[in-house]
Structure 1
Amino acid sequence: MTIQRRTFIAAIGSSAAVGLAGCAVLSSDDDNDDNGAGIRGDTLTLTTTTSTYDTGLLDELNAPFEDRYGVTVDAVAQGTGAALETARNGDSDVVMVHARSLEDEFMENGYGVNRRDLMFNDFVVVGGSDDPASIDGSDQVTAAVTAIADSESMFVSRGDSSGTHTKELEIWEEAGLDPTDFGEWYMEAGQGMGEVLAQADQQGAYTLADRGTFLSMQSDLDLEIHVEGPIEDGPERLMNPYGIIAVNPAVHEHVNYDLAMAYIGYVTGADGQKRIEEYTADGEQLFFPEALSEEPNFEQYVPQS
């Protein structure tokens, strides 16, 4: 791997995980005092991108958190845009998403607080082995999508305002192309990543996918990676960072802010980050932890605009 990842600090104990996010300390089931009784039985509503659900990562992260605090995590898998809209309406406590421009808008409008970098992987362009647009091995994703458009090769878009769809639209725009001008070869599925990969497989089409979901489904697909992301020397344009944000209790006073911050502390702490790092499918690492570093990134807390 050529990416210079921030050094993972494994020495930090998981008992400090809650404090790492600047959140209130909540007692676990192992505590002998009565503080834990205030949260046991609570439910945390998490809206999140489909990739964290489709890959199985959420099960790996949420079960230990639920056991530790005696709570339930209700994970609602949506595209990033829908996940943020649900939170904007006050119907979730915390969001885990991957479209920084949409996250910044959410924060700037006052709906979210205490954003943290969580993890990353990258995007890849996948398609059938016949590769009708001859893009295999391309190191320029804009050139690749231009070739797809010029050849009118079938392309399946998420079409759902998700993080992946947002990235896809950015790539078309950078290539000087507008999907509203495309013909029938361009299909908007309005579905999650798993469904879109299955549809692309059935149609022999290209699509933009996050590497984690593709790797988790690869054994069931007749698709292959034609354009790599930066994890495998591809263009930085295909980087895919994930963030986690608590819903602002000053806007929606009913949200479970303390439990949301406990969850943020857990997934960005040593235990959660270790679980992210060690989670694999068919021996392939799907996500790379980004919360702990010897040189923390201050920009994670403030909008990039």
Structure 2
Amino acid sequence: MKKFSSFLVALTLLMGLSHIAQAVEQRFITVASTTSTANSGLFAYLLPKFTEETGIEVRVIAVGTGQAIRIARKGDADVLFVHHRPSEDKFVADGYGTKRYDVMYNDFIIVGPENDPAQIKNCTSPMQALLNIRQNKQVFVSRGDNSGTHKRELSIWKTTDITPDQLQGNWYRSTGSGMGAALNITAGMDGYTLSDRGTWLAFKNKRKLVILCEGGDALLNPYGVIAVNKNRFPHIKSQDSQIFIDWLVSDKGQKLIGSFKINGERLFTPNAQK
């Protein structure tokens, strides 16, 4: 009986050590990313295919672009995947990232109530659309979270000569939230907001919201991916990070990105440079 008990103890220890060894051997990278890649469903579609092919798990921290960059600047992520080109270029120039790669693009849109009290439908200028919303004292919901979408909104306001201190009052609601939450608030208030197209297409609580303004260079939304610099953070998994980036910009990765659709509509257009 004692021998059998000793055998069970030994077996339990061996199984425990085996699980520990497997955990140690598990390959993964951490990606700090904008919320739209997660909220749109792109990562849920894409990442299992990458893991199946390479054995590398991808753990995503989905936050606004500004916060994602702060996380990567602390060395708390191996890869940065966001959509604000000036911030991405600065991240590399400051030595936090090695190289920026084009991956894909979609566009921003302005959505609002179907009856459109601000009269911006079929607008030719997003700048004029925002001015109309303000002049008509219609509710505009801003993410207010330093995300790529928020940064683009502020850049559009800047071209209208509206200063940040004028973006206040009952008509302007800064939520400090992600895109999904901002769209929910917009729908609940019959207001207007700026959204990336991918999150909008995946958003299910549209109620009476419709796309009212789209198209043009001012609303173009490119995404870039950057490996965090191992020279600055020695613990960074640079080899597996580069495998992930190379896969995204490969013919296979680009084809998969282009094939991701909701209700027959493509959410992102691949644009990796060969």
TM-score (norm 1): 0.80
1:61 Cα offset (Å): 1.4
Measure, in 2, the Cα distance between the counterparts of 1:40 and 1:263. Answer: 18
- Count of residues paired in the alignment: 251
Structure 1 vs Structure 2 CA RMSD: 1.5
1:215 paired residue among 198, 201, 204: 201
After superposition, residues 158-237 of structure 1 pair within 5 angstroms as: 158-181=143-166, 182-217=168-203, 220-229=206-215, 235-237=216-218
5+ long unaligned stretches in structure 1? 1-36, 230-234, 297-305
Is 1:83 matched with 2:68? yes
Question: Aligned AA for 2:188?
Answer: Q
1:54-103 deviations in Å (ceiling 9; x for gaps): 01100121101111222211011000111111000000000110000111
Contact 2:56-2:240 within 8 A present in 1 as well: no
Per-residue CA distance 1:121-180 (angstroms, 9 max, x = gap): 000000111211111111011111111111111000010111000000000000111232
Mapped to 1, the partners of 2:188 and 2:112 lie a distance apart of: 11
What is residue 51 of structure 2 aligned with on the other side?
66
Structure with the higher fraction of residues in helix conformation:
2
**Other structure's SS at 1:75 match:** strand
Bigger RCO of structures 1 and 2 (CA < 8 A, at least 6 apart):
1
CA distance in 2, matches of 1:237, 1:40: 46
Q: How does 1:92-103 map to 2 (within 5 A)?
A: 92-103=77-88
Show the counterpart of 1:126. 111
Is the counterpart of residue 155 in structure 1 residue 140 in structure 2? Answer: yes
What stretches of structure 1 move > 3 A for 4+ residues in a row?
218-221
Asked whether 1:141 is paired with 2:126, we answer yes
Bigger strand fraction: 2
Q: Does structure 2 retain, via aligned residues, the 8 Å contact 1:157–1:196?
A: yes
Quote the Cα distance in structure 2 between the aligned partners of 1:219 and 1:111: 38
Max Rg structure:
2
Report the Cα distance in structure 2 between the residues aligned to 1:82 and 1:221, rounded to whole angstroms: 30
For the Cα contact (< 8 Å) 2:72–2:80, is it kept in 1? Answer: yes
- Give the match's secondary structure for 2:203: helix
Q: Which residue of 1 aligns with 2:10?
A: none
Alignment counterpart, residue 288 of structure 1, candidates 265, 269, 273: 269
Deviation at 1:219, TM superposition (A): 6.5
